[in-house]
Amino acid sequence: MAAIPIILQVVIAFFGAYMIALWFSMIVWTYYDIRARSQDLYVHIFATALVVVFNVFGLVLYLILRPRETLAEAYERSLEEETLLQEIEERPNCPSCRQRIQADFVLCPYCHTELKQRCPRCERLLLPKWDICPYCGNTQVPNARRIEPHLPRTSLAPAPATTTTTTTVIPARQ
């Protein structure tokens, strides 16, 4: 019986240790990855067991079945969506033409409606529906008014002709 040379035994032992370390590291990586992607304990156990039982093929199967985003990515995406919704809700509309306007506009740039007015006493901006200044207590706040836009005449109809009336002067008889 031929004995296996020592060098071949060392290579086989090194290769076996390497495969066991690789398998163990795949199990640990899978466990930490599924913990970052799900909060369900049964999913953690199933994903880790998949790699423990099926080794590399289990890891490939896990990579196919795992959730696309981590919990941190999902949380960040939900924060971004919530921020966008708040920005949309916070931007006011003109009460007259319903166009989006900025909160600090005094006049609507589209229909020229007065959106805010100044308090005659403290000069702070007030909403048109307020009848008292909340900053200085002035009760002499003027009512809001609509400023009509100055638009050039763009009618396609011809302008009415000017008619000249001639009056005949009849001299009085003497």
Mean pLDDT of 68-82: 95
- Between CA 19 and CA 34 the distance in angstroms is 22
The residue with tokens 């199990």 is 27
For residue 50, the number of C-alpha atoms closer than 13 Å in the C-beta half-sphere is 20
- Expressed in angstroms, the distance from the first to the final Cα of the chain is 167
pLDDT tens by residue, 34-73? 999 999 999 999 999 999 999 999 999 999 999 999 999 9
At residue 116 the predicted structure's pLDDT band, cuts being 50, 70 and 90, is confident
The residue with tokens 């790699």 is 51
Return the closest-CA partner of residue 96 out of 149, 31, 48: 149
Two tokens, residue 115: 């959106």
Tell me which DSSP letter residue 61 carries. Answer: H
Two tokens, residue 73: 């990515």
- Between CA 60 and CA 138 the distance in angstroms is 73
Tell me which DSSP letter residue 136 carries. Answer: T
Mean pLDDT of 131-153: 65
- Between CA 147 and CA 155 the distance in angstroms is 22
At residue 147 the predicted structure's pLDDT band, cuts being 50, 70 and 90, is very low
Give the H or E element holding residue 125. strand 125-126
